[in-house]
Amino acid sequence: MAGHPGNPEPLSPRAKLAVTAGKAAAAVSRAAGRGSGSVIGGRVALKLDPELLGRLAQHLDVVLVSATNGKTTTTRLIAEALRASGPVVSNALGANMPAGITSALAGGSDAKYGVIEVDEKYLAGVARDVAPKAIALLNLSRDQLDRAAETRMLAEKWREGLSGTKAVVIANADDPLVVWAASSSANVVWVAAGQEWKDDAWSCPACGGVMQRPGDDWFCGECGFRRPAPSWALSGDHVLDPHGSAWPIHLQLPGRANRANAATSAAVAAVFGVPPQVALERMYQVQAVAGRYDVVSFQGRDLRLLLAKNPAGWLETFSLIDPPPTPVILSVNARGADGTDTSWLWDVDYTRLAGHPIVVIGDRRLDLAVRLEVAGLDFRVCETVDEAVQLSPPGRIELIANYTAFQDVRRRVGN
């Protein structure tokens, strides 16, 4: 990269050197067959110039996207919407910590917008470094409890980190933890994006009181902390804008959670002057994100690949799969990137799969087997995805897997 032509403040020699060194490291990493190299490249660059991330971002209108679930997809939807108004740089492959973000921004010298997915734990720091114009907060729920911070503490960190931000915060009014985190910001656009999973917000993030949740509403019975009035809303397969107009959502991606992501993305696009109609039309372009939701042909069968990493994700996934007797294959691992504790399987209501023929695979198929046995479901246990597919009765197969199990399946089915 040779600086930012046309930008008022070109990168300093140090920043340029850092970007070049980072790209060299990435190229070496790629040549060694160790992934895209974006993370190692970013790491090298940040070491040479710790303020590089902020410097790279200062020429961009930046949107940050964070959440427990839906970050990658929403980042794609927003990027697609904003392309209506100018070139976009984005960490579309989900490298969402500072090094990966730095690397992604370094590759977008001509961009007008930066649409950046940020890991929940790094949001406050990245928001400080890149002075974003907008921050989208989708949801917070339990995830990898063996190593991640407590869920409510994450909300607290967001709240502290975002207080005083100049960004417009676009936040989910239906998630009490997100509302708590966002309400320290001066300028919040509330979106009624819904959230099926409720089990991380039964106690009030403000005072610890017991949350009351009649219908779609919620409030704390003790301190008065309550659901803010949303200006945007997801309503079935439409987005309601602040003027009350309903815009149809057309996505190639399935499920309520993705319609919620589209509603939030439309609200973000509006901050940048892209009208909801234009934004939503463009979102139709977004296909499978990093293999998620992809339908692949394998052994003469159609397999839909669904990623679900935590209880909230599994719940949303159950609501989008085809009804029985569609066969379902479940795969769970507990390697480093998954979290090494499988206890969370017991927070997932597997009785929702009643009526589906079920096959379980993955490193931790025996944990799943006991879980399903106790849920009173019929299931079979297989060693491999090949065997599981052969055992599944006819019809398209829904395959639901957690993080590394999903990567294993993708590798095997050639996706």
Partner 1 sequence: MSDSSLRLVWVYPDLLSTYGDQGNALVVERRARQRGLDVQRVDVRSDQPIPTSGDIYLIGGGEDRPQRLAAERLRRDGGLNRAAENGAIIFSVCAGYQILGHEFINDLGEREPGLGLLDVVSTRGEGARCVGDVLADIDPRLGLPQLTGFENHQGVTHLGPTARPFARTVFGNGNGTGDGTEGAFNETVFGTYMHGPVMARNPQIADLLLKLALDVNALPPTDDRWYEALRSERIAAASQPA
Cβ atoms 230, 188 nearer than 8 A: no
CA 297, 302, 303 angle in degrees (round to 5)?
95
Minimum distance between the CB of residue 414 and partner 1, rounded to whole angstroms?
Answer: 29
Q: Rounded to the nearest 5 degrees, what angle is found at the Cα of 332, between the Cα atoms of 331 and 337?
A: 130
Among 341, 384, 390, 412, binds partner 1 (CB under 8 A): 341
Stretch that binds partner 1, among 96-104, 121-129, 202-210, 297-305 (CB under 8 A): 202-210
Which three-class secondary structure state does DSSP give residue 208? coil
Closest CB to partner 1 among residues 294, 367: 367
Residue whose CB is less far from partner 1, 26 or 155: 155
The answer to whether 52 and 18 have CB atoms below 8 angstroms apart is yes
Which phi-psi region, left, alpha or beta, contains residue 69 (left: φ > 0; alpha: ψ -120 to 50)? beta
For the bound state, the minimum distance from the C-beta of residue 240 to partner 1, rounded and expressed in Å, comes to: 31
Residue whose CB is less far from partner 1, 284 or 346: 346
Q: Decide: 317 and 348 in contact? Cβ < 8 Å.
A: no
What one-character-per-residue DSSP string does 295-315 give?
Answer: EEEETTEEEEEEE--SHHHHH
Q: Which of 189, 371, 389, 404 binds partner 1 (CB under 8 A)?
A: 371
Taking the least distance from each CB to partner 1, the nearer of 152 and 304 is 152
Q: Is 5 exposed, middle or buried (0-12, 13-18, 19+ CB in 10 A)?
A: exposed
Candidate list 35, 87, 164, 208; residue touching partner 1; CB under 8 A: 208
Rounded to a whole number of angstroms, the minimum distance from the CB of residue 360 to partner 1 is 10
Query: Is residue 345 part of the contact set for partner 1 (CB under 8 A)?
Result: yes
Nearer to partner 1, 203 or 415 (CB): 203
Which listed range, 11-19, 181-189, 205-213, 385-393, lies at the site for partner 1 (CB under 8 A)? 205-213
Q: Which member of 199, 216, 237, 341 is catalytic? A: 341
Residue 341 annotated as catalytic? yes
Is position 376 an interface residue for partner 1 (rule: CB under 8 A)? yes
Q: 204: annotated binding-site residue? A: yes
State which residue, 98 or 339, has the beta carbon closest to partner 1: 339
The residues, ordered by sequence, that sit 6+ positions from 374 with a Cβ below 8 Å of its Cβ are none
**Whole-number Å distance between alpha carbons of 403 and 269:** 29
207 annotated to a ligand binding site: yes
SS3 state of residue 136:
strand
Helices (H), 49-175: 52-57, 71-82, 98-106, 123-130, 151-162
Tokens coding 393: 């009765």
The only residue of 370, 378, 390, 412 in contact with partner 1, by rule CB under 8 A: 370
- Give me the least distance between CB of 188 and partner 1, in Å please: 24
Which residues within the stretch 252-311 sit at the binding site for partner 1 (CB under 8 A)?
none
Asked if residue 382 belongs to a known ligand binding site, the reply is no
Site for partner 1 in 120-159 (CB under 8 A): 142, 145-147, 150-153
Strands, E assignment, 6-83 = 61-66
Which of 158, 225, 298, 344 contacts partner 1 by CB under 8 A? 344
Stretch that binds partner 1, among 12-20, 187-195, 203-211, 298-306 (CB under 8 A): 203-211
- Phi/psi for 65 (5° steps) reads -125, 120
CB of 46 to partner 1, least distance (A): 27
Element (H, E) at 367: helix 365-374
Which residues, in sequence order, are bridge partners of residue 172? 191
Q: How far is the CB of 372 from partner 1 (least distance, A)?
A: 8
Contact call for residue 160 and partner 1 (CB under 8 A): no
Which helix (H) or strand (E) segment holds residue 169: the answer is strand 168-172
Structure tokens that stand for 25 in this block: 């490291």
Query: What's the CA dihedral at 369, 371, 372, 373 to 10 degrees?
Result: 80
Q: Please, what is the minimum distance in Å from the beta carbon of residue 147 to partner 1?
A: 7
| Known binding residues | 204, 207, 220, 223
Binding site for partner 1 (CB under 8 A): 142, 145-147, 150-153, 199-200, 202-203, 208, 210-211, 221, 340-347, 366-367, 369-371, 373-376
Active-site residue list: 341
